[in-house]
Chain A
Amino acid sequence: MDFSALSPVSLIVSLMVAATPILIAAIGELVVEKSGVLNLGVEGMMIIGAICGFIVAVETGSPWLGFLAAMAGGAAISFIFAILTQYMLTNQVATGLALTLFGLGFAALLGHSYAGIKPPKFGTLDIPFISDIPVIGPLIFSHDYMIYISLMIVAGVWYFLTRTRGGLVLRAAGENHDAAHALGYKVIRIRIMAILFGGAMAGLGGAYLSLVRVPQWTEGMTAGAGWIALAIVVFASWKPWRIILGAYLFGGITVLQLNLQAAGANIPVAYLSMTPYLVTIIVLVIMSADKKRASLNAPACLGRIFHASN
């Protein structure tokens, strides 16, 4: 066994890359759930974002335009969900699942002629001298831009939800939609905007997967990342900063176990592979055991249909 070959710096760098798609998707879903809507279509929105971003990046040669298109694509498909659940009052769980199925199939159709194409390379931060400082340079100053953007998005969401009037109104809609409605807030409009934001973020996360992490397009390439993002929202007990913790923990364990294996460590691989899922389950169990705390954190109207006549 040779642990000297395991560099903590490169480990952390690769864990951030592995965690960023689920981080971005999860922070979007957090906003959706805070507004009282449960959208299980994250996986479908991610894969739509992955292919929209890929197509536009390949056609225009600009990954930035690709990321923008991914957000537009994710938001567009989430708009279907918004119309169905907010105006036609369909069941959110069923509609979300349908969105995932639709997204996976539609993305496969869109991406039919894009397999085996190389997307343009996405830039990384490179500040002269500073990015070359040992340890701190690679750790803080030489990631690809999207990693910084993802952290800024989390900070922005935290600020919006806890420090602005808009955030307060959004949370009100999620906690008690009838009261919010009685106060004159447009519950449905608020929720639709939250759903669109969630769709855009899921799309962005998906595009990170197809443009940076793997860079290629393969059918079904999200391989369950959307479901992990959903679990991380609960793991984080609907608190923005904890999303980072959850996503990095998940990405970290995955990357660490792969690196330990490559280094020749004699570890029970099967157990390590399931550790991230186990940790999520354990956290869910702990949280649900403490009813009071769970009910404090979960938006009270999560998944409930709102109709103004009620």
Chain B
Amino acid sequence: MKLLKTILAGAAIAVGLTGAASAADKLKVGFIYVGPTGDFGWSYEHDQGRMAIEEALGDKVETTYVESVPESADSERVMTQMALSGTNLIFATSFNYMDHVMNVAKKFPNVKFEHATGFKRSANVSTYSARFYEGRTVIGHIAGNMTETNTIGYIASYPIPEVIRGINAAYIAAKKVNPDVKLKIVWVFSWFDPGKEADAATALIAQGADIIMQHTDSPAAMTIAEEKGIYAFGQASDMIQFGPNARLSSIIDNWGPYYVARAQAVIDGTWASTDTWDGIAPGMVEIGDFSDKIPADVQTSANAIKDALSAGTMHSFTGPLNKQDGSVWLKDGETADDGTLAGMNFYVEGIEGEVPQ
């Protein structure tokens, strides 16, 4: 498998290299994706962002990408090849590329790196992420209102802060409107494995879940939800084509504006290492249209939450909130600071089970 991916990456780089010679004065922007661009989820949306750069900056830029790059030393090789072939700006679009980005960035101080969802930065490494948890608050609110079995199924990928944050945000919002709600969480330890994601959805439905949320990249769970006649939410992408009846709403990642701004900054010579964490307000996180299966009053209240999050009058993590072990995390009215959120490794009170170590 690994050998295969290495060869794949090598082949893709070779293709990229041939394109490099023709345009030396253009800004070269490289992307590495953890899944295929056709996953209709996470990697798909990053690729939409890449195309947004091409559209906005036209012949001032040239973009390349390598898809299905494993989060291992392979990614280091891919980024090194990109840097060697004259790429000026590299977007590494998955959490576990983090240390590899840092290693390559050290070797190529003149190349700018942008790492999605990570927290390590240096002079030529920026990080950026979206406050997906704001979206989770909105869909958690809808799910809490709509579940009839009081059981929400959650397909999780890896136990990293970003995923745990999403679980907590969804649970807090659901619990607020439905004190009996239960969250059943299944960890699949993969970002992209449609077969396994489908099996996880089937297992959750067998255990009584009537609404599925996911933090994995393929629309497999949506397909299963549609087949079994239950509800689900689009993840990263809208996914409505996979579940016209099942999809209630979706959390859509919109990277385009950020990508264009960063590429422009390199062209202008104003690029600096930054840490960007945008939510619903600047449009990095979008909430997909509400399905008409959602009752009108829930649509209204969900919209109110969305607007409040956008206006900054509401925070997804507002006290009083306890940690799972019952200890106080946030006092009444207190909101979580970004540092705690960025490193979140605990469940809030009420969620059953343990965060896998």
A interface residues (Cβ-Cβ under 8 A, vs B) = 5, 7, 10, 14, 18, 21, 43, 97, 100-101, 104, 108, 111-112, 115-118, 209, 213-216, 218-225, 227, 254-255, 258-259, 261-264, 266, 268-270, 273
Contacts and interface: CB of A to CB of B under 8 A. Distances in A.
Nearest to B352: A264
| 10 nearest A-B residue pairs (beta carbon) | A116-B241, A219-B38, A219-B36, A262-B207, A220-B36, A223-B193, A258-B203, A262-B203, A259-B203, A261-B186
B354 A266 contact: yes
Contacts of A5: 206-208
A115 B195 contact: no
B194 interface: yes
Contacts of B223: 118, 214-216
Contacts of B186: 258, 261-262
B203 A261 contact: yes
A263 B208 CA distance: 10
Interface stretch (B3-11, B256-264, B336-344): B3-11
Contacts of B38: 108, 111-112, 115, 218-220
26 contacts: A14-B206, A101-B8, A104-B8, A115-B40, A116-B219, A118-B226, A214-B195, A216-B194, A216-B223, A218-B194, A219-B36, A219-B39, A220-B36, A223-B192, A255-B203, A259-B207, A261-B185, A261-B353, A262-B184, A262-B186, A264-B353, A268-B356, A269-B189, A270-B357, A273-B188, A273-B189
Contact of B4 (A43, A111, A263): A43
B204 A101 contact: no
Contacts of B185: 261
Contacts of B353: 261, 264, 266
Size band of the B side of the interface?
Answer: 35 or more
A261 to B, nearest CB: 4
A90 B11 CA distance: 20
Interface string B182-222: 00111111101111101110111011110000000011100
Given A215-B227, A218-B40, A218-B220, A101 B208 contact: no
A99 to B, nearest CB: 11
Contact of B37 (A21, A219, A262, A270): A219
B68 A220 contact: yes
B8 A218 contact: no
A224 B218 CA distance: 15
Contacts of B68: 220
Contact of B39 (A97, A112, A218): A218
Given A7-B206, A258-B199, A108 B36 contact: yes
A45 B202 CA distance: 27
Contacts of A216: 194, 219-220, 223, 242
A159 B37 CA distance: 44
B316 to A, nearest CB: 25
B160 to A, nearest CB: 13
B278 to A, nearest CB: 28
Contact of B195 (A43, A104, A213): A213
Nearest to A274: B189
Name which of A115, A225, A266 has the most chain B CB atoms within 10 A of its CB: A115
Contact of A220 (B39, B219, B242): B39
B206 A262 contact: yes
B144 interface: no
Given A108-B36, A262-B206, 7 more contacts: A108-B38, A219-B39, A220-B38, A221-B195, A258-B200, A262-B203, A270-B189
Interface string B328-357: 000000000000000000000000111011
Nearest to A119: B223
Contacts of B242: 116, 216
B153 interface: yes
Nearest to B68: A220
A193 B326 CA distance: 66
A224 B227 CA distance: 25
Contacts of A108: 36, 38
Nearest to A258: B203
B32 to A, nearest CB: 15
B1 interface: yes
Nearest to A256: B203
A29 B11 CA distance: 26
Contacts of B16: none
A97 B354 CA distance: 40
A112 B38 CA distance: 8
Contacts of B218: 218, 221
A269 B157 CA distance: 11
Contact of A97 (B3, B192, B199, B356): B3
Contact of B356 (A101, A116, A213, A269): A269
Nearest to A259: B203
A14 B194 contact: no
Contacts of B188: 258, 273
Contacts of A97: 3-4, 7
B102 to A, nearest CB: 24
Nearest to A273: B189
B7 A259 contact: no
Contacts of B166: none
Contact of B40 (A116, A254, A269, A270): A116
A254 B199 contact: yes
Nearest to B190: A223
Nearest to A261: B186
Contacts of A269: 187, 189, 356
A247 B225 CA distance: 26
